[in-house]
Amino acid sequence: MENFTLVKGEWLQHQERLKAPIDHIGKLADDPNLYDSIDKACSNEQAFLFLSRDGFFVLRPRYRSGSAFVELSVAHCQGGNGIIRYQPHIITLARKGKAKFIEFLTARKGLDRVAPRHGWTKHGYHQHLAIWRYTL
């Protein structure tokens, strides 16, 4: 198994370096405000940055209808296989936060093939973005 290190990062130390990849993801998702919304949430400690050697993700604890869940706000993995590499850590963090499920939105059509193999189910669309959930 690959030696994988994940650390909770301080947003203010990494925000400028992460702007370009987050802006790129926002462009693909047709969300020009993605970086600004993540910057605001992380700066106010409403969302949290996690770093690996070749990527990162941002988790945001949320509540809907009285249930806690975790929003995967953005994920970027230069080494590929982001779902395989990050998912176990995201699940562990979400469980520690007593979340009922993990949710992310994406414009990537390729996840229709990949995500279900890893336990994710599609829960419709928000605008043109697919909503994916992993039930804990």
Residue 56's domain is classified under what CATH number? 3.40.630.30
| 2 falls within a domain | no
Residue 124 placed within a domain: yes
Q: What percent of the chain has pLDDT over 90?
A: 78
Top pLDDT among 6 and 103 is at 103
Judged against a pLDDT cut of 90, whether residue 75 lies above it is answered with yes
Q: Does residue 130 contact residue 122 with C-beta atoms inside 8 Å?
A: yes
Rounded to the nearest integer, the mean pLDDT of the chain is 93
pTM metric for this prediction: 0.93
Give, in degrees to the nearest 5, the angle at Cα 113 between 110 and 117: 130
Q: For residue 3, what pLDDT is reported? A: 61
Note whether residue 107 is domain-resident: yes
Would residue 1 count as lying in a domain? no
**Mean of pLDDT values over 37-64:** 96
Question: 92: domain range?
Answer: 7-135
Q: How many domains does the chain have?
A: 1
User: What pLDDT was estimated at residue 127?
Assistant: 87
Q: What pLDDT was estimated at residue 2? A: 54
Burial class (CB in 10 A: 0-12, 13-18, 19+), 89: middle
pLDDT at position 1 is: 42
Residue 17 lies in a domain: yes
In the prediction, which pLDDT does 30 show? 85
Q: Evaluate whether residue 105 is within a structural domain.
A: yes
Any domain includes 123: yes
Confidence (pLDDT) at 109: 86
